[in-house]
Structure 1
């Protein structure tokens, strides 16, 4: 367990006084290279990932193209939430968009941790509430804004994210072609 993850837990649960050494055995930390797959579609989804450094992304493949759903940067968690919870084969894949340092917890260790340290359920509940809220908000903004307005919103709200995401990946996230994204960028600059 990294100090960064420990600080993140304390930040969301300021009154929590569980020693780091109690929780550390449940987490594994390691480096992943840009492009490395952490989860393949149709594979068992047995881990949830915390980004200490770098960027991960969630996607599925359709017609030999990656369709990007979500990004996770520093201090964000990422998994295929549906299949992590119910044990069915993953419907999404997860890969590193940059060289990254991550911490993860397996499904088995997650369940054991929650039984042994029940207050961690509150922490993960906060994480899942945020993830669900963000997904719903993206769905609403995507459905109600034009592509131009969605790009403008995302670029002004998350400028540091946009700078880190390669154009072809961001175009997929927006549901546009790289050429359409280029035109949106030009219109934004004008």
Structure 2
């Protein structure tokens, strides 16, 4: 998606060789007009799939998932990283190692909101090593729901997550695929 790639070039900041900060427009301060275009593109890519629910993980994917859900006309469900008094009892759970935070989380979703009849689209801001997506995939499979695929804003194609998820037979649609990046040479996108 040229619009997203252009925005990454303009406002993204590369730290080292593996951190891409896009907090100016994607995952801290959010450009809702850009999100609207991202949601429309996900809707175009997954058109005709009869999606009934969008699932993401707390917290950076929530904004994007909400706007995409408006385009599809379906609810958003997000996996929580911490059990709360509000979510007690019957839950699906999976473990996720966070690249950003360097720790392992138990993610949870109430069984009330993820049902076997659901057709689920996963949405997230980044795909790097694939841990978050694998955790979400595990939740969908545990629920017996149908996994339609994953919509990713930015995929670090030089890291193994995208290949790993695709080898699991999951359709992954990434709007911007980063081939390489460094502070010295900037960002190169896949063709």
| Shorter-chain TM band | under 0.3
Question: How does the TM-score come out when normalised to structure 1?
Answer: 0.27
The structure where strand makes up a greater share of residues is: 2
The structure where helix makes up a greater share of residues is: 1
Question: How does the TM-score come out when normalised to structure 2?
Answer: 0.27
